[in-house]
Amino acid sequence: MPLIHEVAFLLNGSPIRVSVPVTMTALEMLRGSLNMTGTKLGCGEGECGACSVLVDGRSMNSCILLAVECDGREITSIEGLAADPGTAGLRRAFVDAGAVQCGFCTPGMVIQGKYLLDAQVGGDRAAISRGLEGNLCRCTGYQKVIDAIEQAIVSKEGAGDD
């Protein structure tokens, strides 16, 4: 029987307290214990980015992050971005650019897009492409995703949001 540990953290701006086995991943906690099913299980090895979440503002693969490592941190899942009016431009850009295709990788791509926006990579397509290297997609060929993030960056810069 695995050891159980209580973790307390902010999830999408709300305080959470949950008891988890010490061997549970953050992805398993999010999907199973907290019903945040927008975060997807792809490879389970930190290679595909489908499970990406923001941890203290940094993009991380939740499939290789232990749930106990979330203690005291701020976690943002795709559900948190969906509820954030500040990400409306990014979400709209994904739709407008046709970057959603089958949708399986979309939550991780949008999370990574938010991270790139916050990191202020600018509208440099090569930098956006490098920033997406840990996120795999079988449908879009990445160009539509890059287009969407570039569009969101240009819109943000044009609005003077820094």
What is the tens place of the pLDDT at every residue in 25-61? 999 999 999 999 999 999 999 999 999 999 999 999 9
pLDDT at 13 over 90: yes
pLDDT at 161 over 60: no
135 C-beta neighbours (distance < 10 Å), count: 24
The rounded mean pLDDT for the chain is 92
Percent of the chain whose pLDDT exceeds 70: 95
Task: Report d(CA 5, CA 18) in Å as an integer.
Answer: 8
β-pair partners for 58: 55
Distance from C-alpha of 25 to C-alpha of 53, rounded to nearest angstrom? 13
Q: Which of 63, 66, 64, 50 is nearest to 5 (CA)?
A: 66
| Chain segment 111-146, per-residue pLDDT in tens | 999 999 998 877 789 999 999 999 998 887 799 999
Do the Cβ atoms of 109 and 143 come closer than 8 Å?
no
Give the chain's domains with CATH numbers: 4-77 (3.10.20.30), 84-159 (1.10.150.120)
* Among the listed residues 42, 44, 45, 65, the one whose alpha carbon sits nearest the alpha carbon of residue 53: 65
Spatial distance between the Cα atoms of 97 and 91, rounded to a whole number of angstroms:
10
Mean pLDDT value of segment 152-157: 83
Per-residue pLDDT of 68-102, as tens digits, reads 999 999 999 999 999 999 999 999 999 999 998 88
List, edge to edge, every strand of the sheet that includes 4-11. 14-21, 4-11, 74-76, 52-55, 58-61
Check residue 160 and give its pLDDT: 59
25 alpha carbon, distance to own chain's centre: 16
Whole-number CA gyration radius for the chain: 16
